[in-house]
């Protein structure tokens, strides 16, 4: 009962998330999304996202506290994503968190969005092995992170040099005429497709750039290859086999992601891999990662899909770790840092 009760706000992109945890136990994960408002633009529109956060913030806090059966007065700490993300979107969450911290007279913890994608696995699967290798694959990031302790000194081993993995899913979905965000639609379409029908390129796995970019990713060449392949079909007046293209594209992405993640574990002597971010919801990625980790003797942890995409629980989870590990609270004048490094 003396475990800290922590509320976390996430507004870095298009999800308004409010999570509440007690220690390492998740009590509630309330979310409001503006994704439908962005769909017709084919991507997240920052101004639209900020306005949606402003409208959703307080109702989502109310829903979270009601569903968790807790009073705001009982909260021990307030955590918020302070970066990286969309500047105007972050500001809404940061302003709300500061206000609540001041009103309650409780500490504020500004946390890193990437680190919280890793921390959420603690409320799902228990304490994180230290060190853990984390692969974060979302609409905005594709990173390999060496995590000695989720509250402290995370090192980025590599990242995408062009598109993020989720961005590639979204762009390829568009080429195939599937709705935004495309990841779940490609995942579904791929189930009826042949993953070895088309041999799409695996970026930064061969050639002279490999050594310098061993733990980096590149997905823009793959996206272009898919787009050219589809255009050639259309130009020839032939039907596009959407399921096969989706499955073959998805296979190329997951092949590269899992290969590099396991290489990163091996070369750093790390026996635990955690995968997070929206793309970690992908069914093929989850299956392939499990197969390859089993073969390599690596323990894999992936949160349930709802905790892989952006949410408030991850922020509360990291905030609680900050409290439990005795980390310093943030000053009340912290900025929203849109390009915050991990």
Cα gap 108→153, rounded to integer Å:
20
Flag whether 138 is marked binding: yes
Under the binding rule (CB under 6 A), the answer on residue 282 touching ligand KG4 is yes
DSSP state of 167: H
Shortest spacing between CB 147 and ligand KG4, in angstroms: 17
Q: Is 187 in the site for ligand KG4 (CB under 6 A)?
A: yes
User: Which residue of 9, 122, 154, 169 would you call a contact of ligand KG4, by CB under 6 A?
Assistant: 169
Tokens of 228: 């050219």
Nearer to ligand KG4 by Cβ, of 100 and 118: the residue is 118
Note whether 17 binds ligand KG4 by CB under 6 A. no
* Residue 121 is assigned to a ligand binding site: no
Residue 13 or 128: which CB sits closer to ligand KG4?
13
Q: Could you give phi then psi for residue 209, rounded to 5 degrees?
A: -85, -10
Q: How many residues bind Zn ion (CB under 5 A)?
A: 2
Q: What are residue 143's DSSP bridge partners?
A: 136, 159
What is the C-alpha R_g of the chain? 20
- The residue count for the chain: 342
Task: Give the whole-angstrom CA distance, residue 114 versus residue 143.
Answer: 9
203 near ligand KG4, rule: CB under 6 A: no
Number of residues located near ligand KG4, criterion CB under 6 A = 19
Q: Which residues in 2-99 belong to E strands, given as ranges?
A: 5-10, 15-22, 25-33, 77-83
C-alpha span between 203 and 207 (Å, rounded): 10
Q: How far apart are CA 174 and CA 151, in angstroms?
A: 37
Q: Which does 309 bind (CB under 5 to 8 A by kind): ligand KG4, Zn ion, none?
A: ligand KG4
CA distance 253 to 204: 11
Question: What b/e string do you get for 220-237 counting C-beta neighbours within 10 Å, with b at 16 or more?
Answer: ebbbebbeebbeeeeeee
By CB under 5 A, residue 255 contacts Zn ion: no
The nearer residue to Zn ion, 205 or 282, going by C-beta atoms, is: 282
Among 274, 309, 321, 330, binds ligand KG4 (CB under 6 A): 309
In the window 62-121, what residues touch ligand KG4 (CB under 6 A)? Answer: none
- Determine the Cα–Cα distance for residues 85 and 83; give it in Å rounded to an integer: 5
Q: Give the nearest distance from C-beta 13 to ligand KG4 in angstroms.
A: 5
Based on CB atoms, which residue is closest to Zn ion, 83 or 193? 83
* 340 lies in the site for ligand KG4, by CB under 6 A: no
Token pair for 87? 């500047």
Residue 170, annotated as binding a ligand: yes
Interface positions with ligand KG4 (CB under 6 A) = 13, 138-140, 166, 169-170, 181-184, 187, 277-279, 281-282, 309-310
Per the annotation, where are the binding residues for substrate? Answer: 136-140, 170, 183, 187, 282
Interface positions with Zn ion (CB under 5 A) = 138, 310
């Amino acid at each position: 009962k003396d475990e800290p009760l922590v509320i976390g706000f996430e507004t870095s992109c298009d999800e308004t998330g409010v999570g509440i945890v007690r220690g390492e136990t998740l009590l509630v994960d309330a979310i409001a999304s503006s994704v439908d408002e962005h769909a017709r633009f084919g991507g997240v529109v920052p101004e639209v996202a900020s306005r949606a956060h402003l409208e959703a913030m307080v109702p989502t806090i109310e829903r979270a506290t009601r569903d968790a059966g807790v009073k705001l007065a009982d909260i021990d700490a307030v955590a918020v994503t302070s970066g990286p993300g969309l500047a105007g979107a972050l500001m809404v969450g940061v302003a709300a968190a500061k206000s609540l911290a001041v009103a309650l007279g409780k500490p504020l913890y500004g946390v890193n969005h990437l680190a919280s994608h890793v921390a959420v696995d603690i409320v799902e699967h228990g304490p994180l092995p230290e060190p853990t290798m984390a692969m974060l694959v979302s609409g905005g990031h594709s990173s390999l992170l060496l995590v000695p302790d989720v509250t402290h000194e995370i090192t980025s081993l590599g990242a995408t040099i062009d598109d993020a993995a989720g961005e590639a899913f979204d762009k390829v979905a568009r080429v195939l005429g599937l709705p935004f965000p495309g990841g779940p639609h490609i995942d579904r379409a791929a189930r009826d497709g042949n993953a070895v029908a088309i041999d799409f390129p695996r970026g930064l796995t061969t050639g002279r750039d490999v050594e310098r970019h061993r733990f980096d990713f590149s997905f823009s060449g793959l996206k272009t290859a898919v787009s050219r392949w589809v255009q050639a079909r259309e130009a020839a007046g032939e039907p596009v086999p959407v399921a096969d293209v989706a499955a073959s594209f998805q296979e190329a992405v997951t092949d590269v992601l899992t290969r590099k993640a396991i290489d990163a574990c091996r070369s750093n002597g790390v026996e635990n891999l955690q995968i997070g971010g929206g793309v970690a919801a992908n069914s093929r990625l989850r299956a392939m990662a499990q197969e390859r980790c089993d073969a390599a003797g690596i323990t894999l942890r992936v949160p349930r899909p709802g905790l892989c995409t952006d949410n408030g629980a991850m922020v509360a989870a990291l905030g609680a770790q900050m409290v439990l590990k005795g980390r310093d609270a943030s000053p009340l004048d912290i900025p929203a840092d849109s390009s915050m490094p991990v």
